Amino acid sequence: MICISLSADYVRFSQLAKIADDYSIETVQKKVLTSPFIPSNLTNPQLAADLENIFQQIRADLPLPDRYAALTLPAEWFDLNHQALETGLNRDDTGAALDWGATKRLGQTADEKFIQYYPLYKKSSVDQEYLTVSYFKQLGKLLLNASQAAGFEVHIMDINLFSAAYALERLEAIGKGEKWAVWLVDEPRHSLMVVDSGEYRQLVHFEISDSENYSMIAASSPDDIGEKVVAAINNIRTFASDSLSGIDRLYYYAQNVDSGFFNMLLTYDIDNMKIIDPFEKFKPKDLYQADGDGIGAMCQFIDLMGLMYRKIPESAE
Amino acid sequence: MIRLNLTNIPGLQEEEISPQFDLEGLVLEQPVQEAAETPAAEEVEVVKPRPSETPPAVPEVDEDLFKLAEANLDLIEQAEKEEFGPIEKEQAEKLEKGEAVRRRSIRPVLRYTFYLILVAAIVYGVWAYRQGMFSKKDIKQVASRTEQTITDEADKILDKTVDIVDDLAEKEESLVSEAVQQPTARLPAGQMIIQPTERYYGASQINDDFIYRVYQGQQRLQVCTDVLASFPSNSQLQYIRVKDDKVSFILYVANEAQAQQIKSSILSNNRFLPPEVYFVERSNKFANNPVEIMAIVKFGIPPCEDQKGYKYFNDLQLSQHIWQAGLNSSVSMEPLQISSRDNAVARQAGLTGTGSTNNVVQFLSELGTIRDNMEVSVISITNTFNKNILETQLNYNLNTILYPAKL
């Protein structure tokens, strides 16, 4: 399986193979995009050409011939929100009600988007919560064209924070009752996802604009659970603290490992704020190390590890 | 926690996350040459036939030819014709094969008989001459008589051969016409179409489980050609893909009416289930074809009732066989790439090439009629030029699995 993680400026990829009874990460590498992979660049032909080119390079660099591909993309490409519905509706009615809600919210752009609904926790004894994820069909076509040019077949597409969270679930023994979050550090825009008692709760985007303040850009639900964590993060910049309040654990990682803010965070010593080496259980045969071989450099591949864990049973760890 | 997969179909997703870890994508393919060069690569596990556990799922049937001349005819009528058209071709092909096999078995007998007689005559002649039995005149007479005898014998054998072949041809012709004359009325909606069964195949040389998988591959090929044939000649294809029991495509057509016509054609074909996705929207990609169709359609596969005649071909035979099908259809083709040399297990293989739409359809149809040991698991076809389907060249890419012979 070829796993590909796209970020604004880079494409990271890995290859997972099952050899006899062992799972093996054949390679983990990184390539630079010349045209940024950001939503405002979606219709730029240069981006399409760049992606095609990079996917073909990836194919050429694979240690073993392969076609089966899994992608993970930045959360900013997706629109996420929550809808609550009464329980007891049949599947068709539920689908229709969710469609109606999504169309009301998205308006005319609903026709230009792929929309999916994932059942979440029960909000109350009568309401069922759903996560609505939508993205422009144009994005699907862009990736499809690039994949086809390289002869890849895309079977899985995920959002980077969800991939990273899944890797963390597998790497860390996180208790079922814990509230934890994963934070993608980027400047100036950051993303954070909160998981509560093993359930996805919220995804937020925020900016840390100056030395003291933050601003919330978007949240997938009106819940304030994400903002509480952001406020706690903001506090540690100015107040010395041994631990973060409002959350049991906070994991962070960055895709731009040269970020000054990220490198500052690496020097912090806070009990419940952690950074994880994604390869502590499975060592790749061939690992990209041009950014260094420390945990700060390795963490950039955590979403790739999340994709790979989708195919690795716990019994193989 | 939920696991997203944004390549799934739109709408409400399943609530439960399967605790099973499927191995799809982890078993890798490897060209034969590379396997030989890199010892480590030999350890790569190739796709095992998913054992006999559960009978493979739903998929479905049929085959056809892409007839450009009929492109503007009513699509429903065309689909009906196409469902049964290929039967004649298939049987004719089998007749040809049968005849060729019999000719091959008779010709050596004729040849060796001729040589034996000739050698015996020469030996006798030399022996007699040395014994002083013949004068020059006698020798001429003997040579002349011997020549006459050989010619007569050869004529007799040739006459017999021609008679045998004629008889066989007559028998086969009657079989073909019987099969073609079977009723072609459409079955009620929802009922699977089952092709007429042929009874003159020999015993199969591969296991029953594998036969079913090869049969599924044949159906996928036929579905692919069916869908391609339903596209208007002025449309522009981006891609069509058939995998498992689903066919998906993106096509650009001139107007919404054409999009609806294609949908009706699919709905009217009872092998297809109602489309899971059928998006029709305006697009500015092609000025002549401003309407884009994005579709995902499931199809069913009827039970494999005739398991006879599935031949085991070794790698060389299979490559030659496919190469010949490519030549017949005038498509270009890369050599068949096979993942491993070990023919005792199931192995992945890949087949790629290029051809006009007509020729690619013909090629896929031909592959769909061959009862061999190769399952076509995924068919991907993409357009190479921004031209309409009549004028363009298509790239085809077939993922296949080669099954071992029955022990």
Q: What is the pLDDT of residue B129?
A: 61
Q: How far is A114 from A117, CA to CA, in rounded Å?
A: 10
Report yes or no: A180 at the B interface, CB cutoff 8 Å.
no
DSSP A246-309: S-SEEEEEES-TT-HHHHHHTT---TTEE---TTSSS--SSB--TT-SSHHHHGGGHHHHHHHH
Domain with CATH 3.30.1490 in chain A: 78-134
CA distances from B114 to B127, B144, B161, B397 (A): 20, 16, 14, 50
Nearest residue of B to residue A25 by CA position?
B26
Which residues of B, range 293-332, sit inside 8 Å of A by Cβ? 294
Q: Could you tell me where the DSSP H helices lie in B314-405? A: 315-329, 357-369
Q: Hey, is the C-beta of A313 within 8 angstroms of any chain B C-beta?
A: yes
For B73, the token pair is 């005819």
Please tell me which of the candidates A117, A166, A198 has its beta carbon nearest to residue B13: A117
Facing B28 at nearest CB: one of A65, A137, A158? A65
Q: For residue B272, what are the β-bridge partners? A: B299
Q: How many CB atoms lie within 10 A of CB B68?
A: 15
More reliable by pLDDT, B86 or B56: B86
- Domain A78-134 fold: Dna Ligase; domain 1 (3.30.1490)
Q: What is the pLDDT of residue B104?
A: 53
Q: At what angle do helices A137-150 and A45-61 cross, to 10 degrees?
A: 40
For A17, the closest of B7, B28, B378 (CB atoms) is: B28
DSSP B181-204: TS--PPPPTTSPP-PPP-------
> Average pLDDT of A206-219?
84
Q: Are A1 and B25 in contact (CB under 8 A)?
A: yes
| CB–CB contact A162 B10 (8 Å) | no
pLDDT at B91: 47
Backbone angles phi, psi at B368, to 5 degrees: -70, -15
- pLDDT tens per residue across span A173-210: 887 889 999 999 988 899 999 999 889 999 999 998 76
Whether B105 shows a pLDDT value over 60: the answer reads no
| pLDDT given for residue B285 in this prediction | 81
In chain A, ranges of CATH 3.30.420.40 domains? 1-77+135-172+276-317
Q: Which CATH class is domain A1-77+135-172+276-317?
A: alpha beta
| For residue B28, pLDDT beyond 70 | no
- Determine, for residues B31 and A65 on separate chains, whether the beta-carbon distance falls below 8 Å: yes
The pLDDT, as a whole number, for residue B133 is 59
End-to-end CA distance of chain B: 47
**Is A188 in CB contact (< 8 Å) with chain B?**
no
pLDDT at residue B45 is higher than 60: no
Q: Is B399 on the interface with A (CB under 8 A)?
A: yes
Percentage of chain A modeled with pLDDT above 70: 98
- What architecture is domain A174-275? 2-Layer Sandwich (3.30)
- d(Cα B208, Cα B213) in Å, to the nearest integer? 9
The Cα B124–Cα A70 span in angstroms is 80
User: Is the pLDDT score of B49 beyond 50?
Assistant: no
Alpha-carbon gap: A68 to the closest alpha carbon of chain B (Å): 5
Contact A70 B239 (CB under 8 A): no
Q: Is the pLDDT of residue B65 over 50?
A: no
- Residues whose CB falls within 8 Å of the CB of residue A206, separated by 6 or more in sequence, listed in order: A189, A190, A191, A192, A214, A215, A216, A217, A227, A230
Residue type, A241: S
Contact (Cβ atoms closer than 8 angstroms) between residue B84 and residue B184: yes
pLDDT tens string A23-53: 999 999 999 999 999 999 999 999 999 999 9
Instruction: Take residue B125 and report the two structure tokens written for it.
Output: 């002649």
Q: Is residue A275 over pLDDT 90?
A: yes
Interface of A with B in 140-169 (CB under 8 A): 141, 144, 148, 151, 153-159, 162, 165-166, 169
> For position B135, what pLDDT does the model report?
52
**Range from A152-156, A303-307, B159-163 that averages highest in pLDDT:** A303-307
In this structure, chain A runs to a length of: 317
Spatial CB neighbours of A249, under 8 Å, sequence gap ≥ 6: A172, A174, A178, A180, A181, A272, A273, A274
Maximum separation of any 2 CA atoms in chain A, in Å: 55
Q: Are the beta carbons of B43 and A98 separated by less than 8 Å?
A: no
Alpha-carbon separation of residue B18 from A119, A165, A310, B123 (angstroms): 14, 18, 11, 82
Do residue A65 and residue B13 have CB atoms under 8 angstroms apart?
Answer: no
